[in-house]
Every structure is written in C-alpha cells, then in structure tokens.
Amino acid sequence: MIVDVSAAAGEAAIEGIRARVEASGGRTRVSRTAESIAIACTGLGAAHAHAIAELPGVRSVRTGGPAHILAGRAFCQIPTLVRAGDDPRTWFGGTGFAVIAGPCSVEGRDMLMSTADEIHAAGAGLLRGGAFKPRTSPYAFQGLGQEALVLLAEARSRTGMPVVTEVLDVRHLDLVAAHADVLQIGARNMQNFSLLAEVGRVQRPVLLKRGPSATISELLGAAEYILAHGNSDVILCERGIRSFDTATRNTLDVAAIPVLKRETHLPVIVDPSHAAGRADIVTALSLSAAAAGADGLIIEVHPDPASALSDGPQSLTPESFRTLMTVLEPVVQAVGRWLAPPPLVRRDATPDVRRIGMEAAA
C-alpha cells in the first residue's frame, strides 16, 4: 500500500500516518520529491486502506500494486544514486556511467596488482575479483578465500579503487564486508532469501545479479528483500539468461535494461562477460548496454586469459579493455552521460538524490 500525502501536510501529519500504520503491525518508508510525499506501507493488509484514507494529510491510498513496493517507481520516482566511494566514477544511477573491471577470480598477488593498475589507468572506477567462487564443478578452482580478500584490500590501497567481490555464503558475510566496498550476490544466489536478508542488514552497497532463469519480477522481488531489511543501496545487474542458443554462454537480455529502468528507481548495470562467455563480443554487448540506458558495466579482465583459473574464454586482456573504454566513451556521451567526470563539475555540486529519494526506516 502506498499512501500519498498532500504536499502541504506537515511533519506531524506524516508522523501520525506512520504511527497508525506501525501500530497496526505495518512498516513505513517515506519518499519525497519537490512536489510529492509518499509513504510505502509494507506488512499491512488492504483492509486498513479505508481507515488510513481518513487520516489528516492523506491525499489518496494506492493498493494492489506490485510486491516490490520499495524497489518500485510507483513509490520512489527519483533515481537512487548508489555511491561505492568518493570518486564520482564509483557512483551508480546518476549522470555518470560506472565501470567495474578485474579478474573473475583473484589468483594471486602479481596478477591482481597488475590488472588493477591496468584497468585503473584505462579509466575503470572499481575493481572486481572473486574470492569465494560459485563453480558448477566441485573440482574446479573455488577461489583463494580470505587470502584473496586481503589482496583486494591491498589493491584498493594501491589504486584508490573500491573493490567488488561476491558473498557466497551467509557465514562469510562479516569477513567479506570487512574487506570489500560492494557485496556481490551472484546469479546462483539471487533467490537465497536468508542471504538477501543478511546483506540487507549491512550498510554496504549490494550488487545483485539476475539469476540465469529468473524473471525481471523475481529480480525485483530479490531486491525488495534487501531493501526491506534496511539497505537501500542496491545495484541490479543483468548478466544474461538461459536460452536455447549455444552460440553464447547466456543470452544478454538487453530489453531488461529499459524495462527495469521504468519499473525501479535502482541503478541497473550489465555484465557482458558472463552473458557472452566469449571475449570477442564483450565490446559489442557493452556498447549495446550503454546505448540501452544501463548505468554501468562489470567486465572480466585477466592479464593472460589463456591461463586463467576461471572464465578465461570470456576475459578481456588489459589491452582490449583499454580499447573498449575508448570506443565506449562516445556511446556513453551520445546518451547524455559521462565516463570520466567532467572536470568542471565539483563533487559536492552533485546532489545526493538518494537522500531526497527514499528515507531509511525510522
């Protein structure tokens, strides 16, 4: 249920509505724009709608919307800006286009540091690298675990780039959160609801990947879990879905980008590497994602893809990543965004739209 409050209503009216909803066992979240105030009421049956409609300040009560009430545009019309660091290249959902790059797995110190240096020089904003890997075979490389997390933290100190890594298991959450700036929930865990609830309690941005067989609605339902548990910094990621075609590892669902951008205020990025499964079309998919309105990319880069312990065939060399960044720039500009922050825009001149958008639970 969404309660639209008259713009003229004061704080006392808003608090009165919240108190009434919460006294009935519901939870509230407020969203404000310059013209409107909306209160999302979750955990409350539609039977309460009539009584709430009579409260002072209420303009209308909307019921029967989608289950992803907090993630939906119906509640919060302003795009959410998720910041992974201070540099505007690490912000998702604003006018910039954020690029995350790095190896599928952290395999050792030298390969991580050299990749981090190369992608940083090429203009990437964030470093990725798997420490705990979800592998289809139990005999495949499972990641270096804690050792990889320590190396990622070292690469962050060296380059200044925030690091993105996957939380595979709720038992690793504290350890991963102690080292990483963005917590990745992998495609295979998209509907691991207890893990989603736990990352919802952590104040750290979450990169939520779409499951290979998940509908857009199920992806939004997964995001809703994280939001409902108190974390509003969620970035959605389209990474290819399963289809009948074997020419690519997965099928990049480009349509998901504009559909999600209409349906939700959360930022949407694309992983062309796992969609393609092959390095030769990663650039083409990246350009299509930018043109379709994505807020950023996550790309696998390895210093020697042929020797990679995971996902070598889809990994770009540092050199091809540099080329990708060069051809990406005009496409990003053509859709009215920037890849490198315009030098004349001061960081503090960009409003924190998230704060205006959705307020955390009281």
Residues 6+ positions from 22 with CB-CB distance below 8 Å = 28
Residues 6+ positions from 286 with CB-CB distance below 8 Å = 270, 272, 297, 299, 324, 328
Q: Which of 249, 274, 302, 354 binds ligand PEP (CB under 6 A)?
A: 274
Judged by phi (left if over 0) then psi (alpha if -120 to 50, else beta), residue 6 lies in: beta
Q: Which is nearer to Mn ion, 28 or 286 (CB)?
A: 286
The one of Mn ion, ligand PEP, none whose footprint includes residue 83, by CB under 5 to 8 A per kind, is none
Intra-chain end-to-end CA distance of the chain, in Å? 18
Question: What is the Cα–Cα distance from 233 to 216, expressed in whole angstroms?
Answer: 19
Tokens linked to 89: 């290249």
State in angstroms the smallest separation of the CB of 15 from ligand PEP.
Answer: 42
Q: Which is nearer to Mn ion, 69 or 308 (CB)?
A: 308
State in angstroms the smallest separation of the CB of 104 from ligand PEP.
Answer: 5
Residue 209 and residue 190 in contact, taking contact as beta carbons nearer than 8 Å: yes
Verify binding: residue 263, Mn ion, rule CB under 5 A. no
State in angstroms the smallest separation of the CB of 186 from Mn ion.
Answer: 9
Verify binding: residue 106, Mn ion, rule CB under 5 A. no
The residue at minimum Cβ distance from ligand PEP is 186
Which range, of 75-83, 87-95, 185-193, 257-265, touches ligand PEP by CB under 6 A?
A: 185-193
Angstrom distances, CA of residue 39 to CA of 12, 136, 328:
14, 43, 39
The one of ligand PEP, Mn ion, none whose footprint includes residue 134, by CB under 5 to 8 A per kind, is ligand PEP
Q: Which of 166, 198, 253, 311 binds Mn ion (CB under 5 A)?
A: 311
Element (DSSP H or E) covering residue 284: helix 282-291
Q: Which is nearer to ligand PEP, 74 or 163 (CB)?
A: 163
Backbone angles phi, psi at 99, to 5 degrees: -120, 125
Which range, of 102-110, 162-170, 179-187, 214-222, touches Mn ion by CB under 5 A?
A: 102-110
Verify binding: residue 104, Mn ion, rule CB under 5 A. yes
State in angstroms the smallest separation of the CB of 280 from ligand PEP.
Answer: 19
Question: What is the Cα–Cα distance from 38 to 6, expressed in whole angstroms?
Answer: 9
Helix runs in 32-139, H state only: 49-53, 109-121
Verify binding: residue 181, Mn ion, rule CB under 5 A. no
- Please, which of residues 111-130 interact with ligand PEP by CB under 6 A? 130
Give the interface with ligand PEP as residue ranges (CB under 6 A).
104, 130, 134, 186-188, 209, 239, 271, 274
Give the interface with Mn ion as residue ranges (CB under 5 A).
104, 311
